[in-house]
Amino acid sequence: MGFLDHFAFIAEALAHLSVGIPRTILLAVASLLIGFVLAIGVAAALLSQAFLPRWIANGYVYIFRSSPLLVQIFLIYYGSGQFRSLFESLGLWGLFREAWFCAILALALNTCAYQAVLIAGGLRAVPWGQIEAAQAVGMSRCRVFVTVAFPQALRHALPAYSNEVVLMIKATALASTITILEITGLAKQMASETYRPFEVFAAAGLVYIALNGAVAAGFTRGERFLRRNVAQRT
């Protein structure tokens, strides 16, 4: 086997794996967005004055952050089978039988826990004077949150968010363990069909590095955009 042949095969693998790129992106984007919406509520609960919501939110965050994502995915996908009759009577079995649904649910619940901590940290960093000022001009609590506190919290959280997006793109690889043929799933399939695992998995690695490089570059631009109205320290 010639040296050039390896590169030719890696190029072939890249072409084959590119089919999985939209699937990986779909998994990541769907779970990040669902996780984000849920995380706003969880972050609010984490900062709540009331004991019960704070306690529940803390418990949720603790459980999802200190156990492996693979366990969470298997628990939802395979574990739901143990309660099949219950899910059938609730009319939910059609969903839980679906690998895509279970993967996105597990990824979303997982990233929600991490995002909630990020958002709560961002909210804590908003200067209290800003909230008081907003209240002083007669804004409602809800309006203070939406127009004053939350946008500033996001700006604080954004650098850490780029990290979370990269971690989620990496995490989508675990969906391959429950039959989803995204980049890693396709690579596994191709490696066992061609008996050339080294080239195939290396090609998959290149695809992930390109994806995550694009994410990092995008976030650098986004940060610059969000800081456009912030006075520059000189």
Binding residues for another protein, per CB under 8 A? Answer: 62-63, 65-72, 74-75, 78-83, 166, 170-174, 176-177, 184, 187-188, 191, 195-198, 201-202, 204-205, 208-209, 212-213
Q: How far is the CB of 167 from another protein (least distance, A)?
A: 9
Whichever of 75 and 146 has its CB closer to another protein, that residue is 75
Write the CB contacts of 116 (distance below 8 Å, at least 6 apart in sequence): 38, 39, 42, 43, 46, 57, 61
Whichever of 139 and 202 has its CB closer to another protein, that residue is 202
Burial 206-226 (b: 16+ CB within 10 A, else e): ebbeebbeebeeebeeeeeee
Tokens of 43: 């972050």
Q: How far is the CB of 140 from another protein (least distance, A)?
A: 38
Whichever of 28 and 131 has its CB closer to another protein, that residue is 28
Contact 119, 153 (CB under 8 A): yes
Whichever of 32 and 204 has its CB closer to another protein, that residue is 204
Q: How far is the CB of 201 from another protein (least distance, A)?
A: 4
Nearest to 35 by CA among 62, 76, 64: 64
Q: How far is the CB of 40 from another protein (least distance, A)?
A: 24
Q: How far is the CB of 198 from another protein (least distance, A)?
A: 4
CA distance 217 to 52: 41
Whichever of 37 and 209 has its CB closer to another protein, that residue is 209
Residue 227, Ramachandran bin (φ over 0: left; ψ between -120 and 50: alpha; else beta)? alpha
